[in-house]
Amino acid sequence: MPDSNKRALVVLAFLGLTVSACGDDPFLVRWEENPLQALVFSLDREPYDIPRPSAFNMLERRTVILEDPQSQGRWDFAVERQGNAMVLLPPRALGVTSQAGIAAIPQTAFADVLQAPADTAMYSTRQPVPIELGTTYVIRTHQQPGFFGGFCSYYGKVEALEIDVAGGTLRFLHDVNPDCNNRSLIPPRR
Average pLDDT over residues 83-106: 95
Looking at the chain, the whole-number percentage of residues with pLDDT higher than 70 is 82
Average pLDDT over residues 65-73: 78
Higher pLDDT, 179 or 1: 179
Q: pLDDT tens digit string along 128-167?
A: 999 999 999 999 999 988 777 789 999 999 999 999 999 9
pTM for this one?
A: 0.83
Q: pLDDT tens digit string along 19-36?
A: 444 556 565 677 899 999
In this prediction, residue 178 carries a pLDDT of 94
In this prediction, residue 23 carries a pLDDT of 53
Q: Bridge-partner residues for 169, per DSSP?
A: 41, 164
Domain-wise residue ranges, the chain: 1-30, 31-177
Q: Tell me: pLDDT of 15 over 70.
A: no
Residue 181 burial class via C-beta count within 10 angstroms: exposed 0-12, middle 13-18, buried 19 and up:
middle
Output the 3-class SS for 9-76. HHHHHHHHHHHHHHCCCCCCCCCCCCCEEEEEECCCCCCCCCCCCCEEECCCCEEECCCCCCCCCCCC
Nearest partner of 54 among 89, 62, 63, 46, judged by Cα: 63
The CA distance from 93 to 88, in Å, is 10
In this prediction, residue 64 carries a pLDDT of 95
In this prediction, residue 27 carries a pLDDT of 57
